[in-house]
Structure 1
Amino acid sequence: IIRSAHAPKSMQTPSPGAGGLWMPFHCEDERTNEWASTTLQEYLEMEYQGHGAVEVVPAIIFKGEMMAGEEAEISGAHHPPPSWASNRDLGFSTVSIEDLVKGNTSHSSRPERGPSSAATAAIVNNGAGLSGGSDHKSRSTTEKKVHVPAFAERYHSAWTFHVPIVDSPALLGEFHQELIDGGADVNTNTLFSSASEAIEFANGCTGEDEIDAIVNCTGSGTLTGDESVVLARGVLRYYRRPPGFDTCMLIEDPPFASERYPLYAIPRGGYVAVGGTYLEDDIEASPRDEEREMLDRNAELLLPSDGMHFEPVGEWVGFRPVRPAGVAFGLNESLTRQANRKLKWVDNYGHGGAGWTVAAGC
């Protein structure tokens, strides 16, 4: 039995509007890397089997503003690779901007991969060809070229790797249909205002519909009254994907970006998601005019234009549920006792900006 206030592909929920990038982002939990690794294997297997909702692309994260003399050495000295970079399937490396621009890197080489099981192949082939309704056709990794923007020389170095991108509306639609086909009772127009209301509903289900556990995936933790969750507002615009554009780029360093205003482009299906913001406790539900102007400038910076002006084809605002103490994942003993029978309450919320990154792991 599944209850949700909105349908899975509704833009009023964070997941379909998100860029769908696999990469741990503002999910401060010691278990994140393990969850992310499990999810990475799932996505790579799907992509290997030809699932149209997952595409592996080259990725670049620019690090450290380029400065002169001793300042340049300082700028490049404080960017050790993140802990998740040790996963061999990513092909992660740190390169100089000079080598990146010249193409003298191993960035175009992706680790070889084969299928892990016939069972997995059978599952993912059922959804082959999904692309979120776009006409974009994914090319093999060997056909994908790395796009290095003109401003790259303003940075000291770069992290390069290969990363899965999830066409999130397509995959959510598939998950939803699988549940319905499997006989699940799915209602996407139900909003519980409290944990007590959800428990009352569960206790009222008897016979074949008896419920033995509630899994709370409300993101912000509102059902549990968890006031520690911080909503970090993200805003992005969608642009049509230029022919041959396959590079995911992310920057959080000056002179073009910051942690509050990251600069990124994520090719997803037939579109590119360009961002963005990371604004804690900002609850404005629509993009502001100045944010739209910023995102249009970001698109001009990041996308190969050949003199072409990019017109947005959509925009979106979402709120990342960041829980500083870590993801709430496991049995909630207090609410389990409140249920007053064998019903268990299990929490799974507060994944920050890593929802698609840890989706299969927790």
Structure 2
Amino acid sequence: MASKVLVVGSGAIGLRTALELLRNKIPVVLRSAHHPLDKKTCSMGAGGLYMPYKCEDPRIDKWSSDTLDELLHLANDEKKKSLVEIVPTLYLMSKHGGMTTEDFKDFESKDYVGGTNIKTKFPKWTTDPRLSFQHLTIEMLEWQNHALKLKIPSAEILKKAGYNFGWLFNAPIVDAPNMLKDLLEEVYEYPVDINVDMGQGYANTDEMVADAKDHGCDALINCTGLGSMELCNDKDLIGGRGILLHYKRDCKRNFSDANMERDTAILTEDGPWGTSTDPVYIIPRGDVFVVGGTYYEGNTNDSLTDDERKRLIENAHLMGIDPSEAYVDEWAGFRPVRKTVRMEIDEETSASNGVKVIHSYGHGGSGWTTYVGAAKASLELLHSD
């Protein structure tokens, strides 16, 4: 068992990992090249929607379940509930739907939609009853919405655009900036050595290990996200660029039905509105709507182009926002994407340096969906022989 741990990185994964250690009475040194509230950090800019995205590692089923436990607890805590909001969420599809949840349970393969053979099933996270997941046709959604009163485009608009099916579920949404602030404030409640604005930070793993030794740490946990491309020379890690516009949460919405009352997260990667690289979404987050987006691997542009801004304004209009009145801010950042999350003990580095080195990075667009589970997984590795 480690007597003191250096945690490197202060995004959602790093801060929650530091807290997991501190809550278990393990002293921590926290280091990060950037402050967690730096506007450009991925955790700061993220939409905060609970839904695994661009992370295919099977271990995220456990990590996301652990995270859901905590998010639902926070949403019901009078002192913390402003940090997490449970929001109806609609994921639109043009194809490969039209079956009930029961049909899907034993579904393996079937000729479907224009003779195309499709092999699919619901992701495991959708089976958690706390999310109230439903697979609906647009007609079923329209019928339910008479009671639900969701702020979504009309069935007529959706059908005309070619959307025939949707997933509807109740998703926690993290107010990312305020959650990071809250996590950092809790870290500061402990006697911990903190520097979360180091400028350039470390150049490589050896420098991290040396700093751990200098501070009397016998273990370190690397939660640097995309920074591990250089720190660890990780060729499997790549940035998945995302962009957002922020609009005022209290802005008027241009829906024809005046009875629509409940803000709803809406997402699609299907045409004509979206694609896998240019998804369309609106997420109510804190006092803003975030409207996106993109998923461009390897694109390093840290600001929006004029064409991208124009497309996001069009997306906002599709989602019922009058873009001329409600614009607040914009954001561009990079998801740390990897084929599998690097959640492991670095045996070679640990053996040669006498410091137990654990890596926890590469969670893709699922940082706020896995951050609690990832912290607990790091602690388990720390306890392991």
TM-score by length of 2: 0.77
1:75–1:156 contact (8 Å) kept in structure 2: no
User: Which of 359, 369, 379 is equivalent to 1:347?
Assistant: 359
DSSP 3-state at the match of 1:148: coil
1:103 aligns with 2:152: no
1:23 aligns with 2:38: no
User: Which of 182, 185, 198 is equivalent to 2:193?
Assistant: 185
1:336–1:344 contact (8 Å) kept in structure 2: yes
Q: Which residue of 2 aligns with 1:323?
A: 338
Return the structure number with greater helix share.
2
Question: Aligned ranges for residues 47-62 of structure 1 at < 5 Å?
Answer: 47-50=75-78, 51-62=81-92
The unaligned stretches of length 5 or more in structure 2 are 1-28, 97-110, 253-260, 375-385
Q: Which residue of 1 aligns with 2:36?
A: 8
**Range 351-360 or range 41-50, more displaced:** 41-50
Q: Deviations 1:125-172 (Å, cap 9, x if unpaired)?
A: xxxxxxxxxxxxxxxxxxxx4122143222111110000000011010
2:40–2:331 contact (8 Å) kept in structure 1: no
**Range 219-228 or range 39-48, more displaced:** 219-228
DSSP 3-state at the match of 2:368: coil
Determine the C-alpha separation between the residues in 2 that align with 1:23 and 1:215: 25
One-letter code of the match for 1:149? P
1:164 aligns with 2:172: yes
Offset at 1:304?
Answer: 5.1
Offset at 1:183?
Answer: 1.8
Q: Which residue of 2 aligns with 1:285?
A: 302
2:152–2:266 contact (8 Å) kept in structure 1: no
2:88–2:169 contact (8 Å) kept in structure 1: yes
One-letter code of the match for 1:224? C
1:195–1:224 contact (8 Å) kept in structure 2: yes
One-letter code of the match for 2:222? N
**Range 329-338 or range 228-237, more displaced:** 329-338
- Percent identity, aligned pairs only, is 36
Q: Which residue of 2 aligns with 1:112?
A: none
One-letter code of the match for 2:290? A
One-letter code of the match for 1:216? N
User: Which of 126, 150, 155 is equivalent to 1:146?
Assistant: 150
Determine the C-alpha separation between the residues in 1 that align with 2:246 and 2:119: 33
Q: Which residue of 2 aligns with 1:358?
A: 370
Offset at 1:347?
Answer: 0.2
CA distance 1:76–1:86, change in 2 (3 Å): farther
2:175–2:285 contact (8 Å) kept in structure 1: yes
Q: How many residues align?
A: 313
CA distance 1:304–1:11, change in 2 (3 Å): closer
The unaligned stretches of length 5 or more in structure 1 are 109-144
When the two chains are superposed, the root-mean-square deviation of aligned CA atoms in Å is 2.2
Q: Which residue of 2 aligns with 1:120?
A: none
Determine the C-alpha separation between the residues in 2 that align with 1:322 and 1:310: 35
CA distance 1:79–1:185, change in 2 (3 Å): same
Offset at 1:105?
Answer: 8.3
